[in-house]
């Protein structure tokens, strides 16, 4: 068995898109297993840039791509995305893309509720307002509309009534207009013929692929620090983002997820609200943001930036189940005189080597830094260790030591080929 699962090991935006694209080159199938169009993966191939949200990155290579049952799917956004990549020259047909029939649908009322809550709350989460949280709530509340329901117009009205019985009460409370059941039914009937051709069974597809000895790449979205259980709750997304979710969110054995690669940026960023111990609200933070082009792919929001936090990544490698990491954006650190790495936290006179679970304590942590010498040469585009300055190698080695997990890949530019391979995740360990 030679499958690979890729997850983000910080707060997202670690550069998963490029690595997933690089790996999907050698995979037979690419599978999304959680999240929705809150994700944003940028893939650069030659002079073309593709921005994917819901579509598995495999579509760029024409690989069979599955949107698993664990994903929440906004069908209108999905069609828009298919049209957008179509205009850029990528044809996505049901021969390539399969949408799990038991995936949950994101509806306009979910997006609206997401926005209403964010606007009304004094404690904002800073969500992407794509309706992700409200949709997962309805899934767990057993009142959601699923993709398969688009095939059965006779049963839809009863399902819509059950959903609206919940939502219209909430909307009244927010002073929003009620959703009309007939109008929603018509919207769903209108979109159904465009979505139904993509419907299929994620677990059966994967079972057949496994029996045929195919290589499967499981593509995580967001990251472990945004995980609903293991992240910085409540400033998290509403799904499990750890590698274990690949099994539940696609319908495969936990043993089938293969080697787990955690994507880790050489510094730290975060979009939205929530604790961030190594955040730099000064010129250095600005410099990291400018050099790293740290703006959200989905919302365009400026990302918060800070030094590498080895405490967090050591923890996410454990909770996420990471076997090896891919370190990205090393070139953003080029030219700094010194580079800091967080090795612990100070809290009320004590030193911690982990992130406490309590959000109030997380907000009061003071990072303990180790300072490393920087390098003046460029690392951008390096494709071998020999092309890296000695201090850059020292930095990578120290990161490895501190997080207790080996570097499998090193990414040195957005280009697919600018990658140093230490351990190919597709080769059995």
Query: Contact positions toward ligand IMP, by CB under 6 A?
Result: 12-13, 38-40, 125-128, 130, 132-133, 221-222, 226, 235, 237-238, 271-272
Quote the least distance from Cβ 384 to ligand IMP, whole Å. Answer: 30
Return left, alpha or beta for 239; rule: phi > 0 is left, psi -120 to 50 is alpha, else beta.
beta
Quote the least distance from Cβ 128 to ligand IMP, whole Å. Answer: 3
How do 338-347 and 104-105 pair as beta strands?
Answer: unpaired
- Residue 10 or 65 with smaller CB distance to ligand IMP: 10
Known catalytic membership, residue 13: yes
- Residue 263 or 372 with smaller CB distance to ligand IMP: 263
Dihedral sign from CA coordinates of 165, 248, 65, 45: positive
Catalytic residue among 21, 41, 74, 167: 41
- Residue 128 or 411 with smaller CB distance to ligand IMP: 128
- Residue 140 or 208 with smaller CB distance to ligand IMP: 140
Quote the least distance from Cβ 187 to ligand IMP, whole Å. Answer: 22
Dihedral sign from CA coordinates of 234, 35, 221, 44: negative
Quote the least distance from Cβ 428 to ligand IMP, whole Å. Answer: 30
220 vs 209: CA distance, rounded Å? 19
Quote the least distance from Cβ 255 to ligand IMP, whole Å. Answer: 27
Q: How far is CA 223 from CA 7, 83, 230, 257, 264, in A?
A: 6, 27, 10, 17, 10
- Residue 238 or 343 with smaller CB distance to ligand IMP: 238
Quote the least distance from Cβ 52 to ligand IMP, whole Å. Answer: 11
Quote the least distance from Cβ 290 to ligand IMP, whole Å. Answer: 19
Q: How far is CA 339 from CA 307, 354, 356, 392, 414, in A?
A: 8, 21, 25, 10, 22
Catalytic residue among 13, 74, 227, 331: 13
How many other CB atoms sit within 10 Å of the CB of residue 116? 18
Quote the least distance from Cβ 170 to ligand IMP, whole Å. Answer: 17
Please, which contacts does 344-353 make with residues 24 or more away whose CB atoms are closer than 8 Å?
A: 344/311, 344/368, 345/277, 345/311, 352/311, 353/311, 353/314
Q: What are phi and psi of 69, to 5 degrees?
A: -65, -20
- Residue 62 or 141 with smaller CB distance to ligand IMP: 141
- Residues β-bridged to residue 342: 309, 369
Known catalytic membership, residue 166: no
Among candidate residues 362, 358, 422, 423, the one with its CA nearest the CA of residue 393: 422
- Residue 130 or 329 with smaller CB distance to ligand IMP: 130
- Residue 130 or 167 with smaller CB distance to ligand IMP: 130
Show Cβ contacts of residue 401 under 8 Å, excluding neighbours closer than 6 positions. Answer: none
Residue with smallest beta-carbon separation from ligand IMP: 272
Asked if 101 contacts 148 with a C-beta cutoff of 8 angstroms, the reply is yes
Catalytic (active-site) positions: 13, 41
């Amino acid at each position: 068995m030679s499958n690979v699962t890729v997850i983000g090991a910080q707060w997202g935006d670690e550069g998963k898109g490029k690595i997933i694209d690089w790996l999907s080159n050698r995979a037979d199938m690419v599978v999304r297993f959680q999240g929705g169009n809150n994700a944003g993966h940028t893939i650069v191939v030659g002079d073309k840039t593709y921005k994917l949200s819901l579509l598995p990155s495999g579509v760029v290579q024409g690989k069979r791509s599955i949107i698993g049952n664990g994903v929440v799917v906004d069908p209108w956004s999905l069609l828009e995305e298919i049209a957008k990549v179509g205009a850029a020259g990528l044809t996505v047909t049901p021969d390539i893309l399969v949408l799990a029939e038991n995936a949950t649908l994101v509806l306009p009322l979910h997006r609206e509720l997401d926005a209403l809550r964010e606007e009304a709350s004094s404690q904002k989460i800073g969500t992407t307002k794509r309706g992700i949280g409200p949709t997962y709530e309805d899934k767990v509340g057993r009142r959601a509309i699923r993709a398969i329901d688009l095939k059965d117009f006779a049963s839809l009205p009863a399902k819509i009534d059950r959903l609206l019985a919940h939502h219209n009460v909430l909307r009244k409370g927010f002073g929003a207009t009620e959703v009309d059941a007939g109008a929603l039914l018509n919207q769903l009937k209108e979109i159904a013929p465009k979505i139904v051709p993509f419907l299929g069974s994620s677990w059966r597809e994967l079972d057949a692929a496994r029996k045929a000895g195919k290589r499967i790449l499981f593509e995580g979205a967001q990251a472990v620090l945004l995980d609903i259980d293991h992240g910085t709750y409540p400033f998290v997304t509403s799904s499990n983002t750890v590698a274990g979710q690949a099994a539940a969110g696609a319908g495969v054995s936990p043993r089938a997820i293969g080697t787990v690669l955690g994507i880790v940026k050489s510094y730290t960023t975060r979009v939205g609200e929530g604790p961030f111990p190594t955040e730099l609200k000064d010129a250095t933070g600005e410099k990291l943001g400018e050099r790293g082009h740290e703006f959200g792919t989905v919302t365009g929001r400026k990302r918060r930036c800070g030094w590498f936090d080895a405490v967090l990544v050591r923890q996410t490698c454990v909770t996420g189940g990471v076997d090896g990491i891919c370190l990205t954006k090393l070139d953003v650190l080029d030219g700094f005189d010194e580079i800091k790495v967080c090795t612990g936290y100070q809290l009320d006179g004590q030193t911690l080597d982990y992130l406490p679970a309590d959000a109030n304590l997380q907000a009061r942590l003071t990072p303990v830094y180790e300072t490393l010498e920087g390098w003046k040469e460029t690392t951008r585009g390096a494709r071998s260790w020999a092309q890296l300055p000695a201090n850059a190698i020292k930095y990578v080695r120290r990161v490895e030591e501190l997080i207790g997990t080996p570097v499998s890949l090193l990414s040195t530019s957005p280009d697919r080929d600018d990658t140093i391979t230490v351990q190919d995740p597709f080769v059995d360990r």
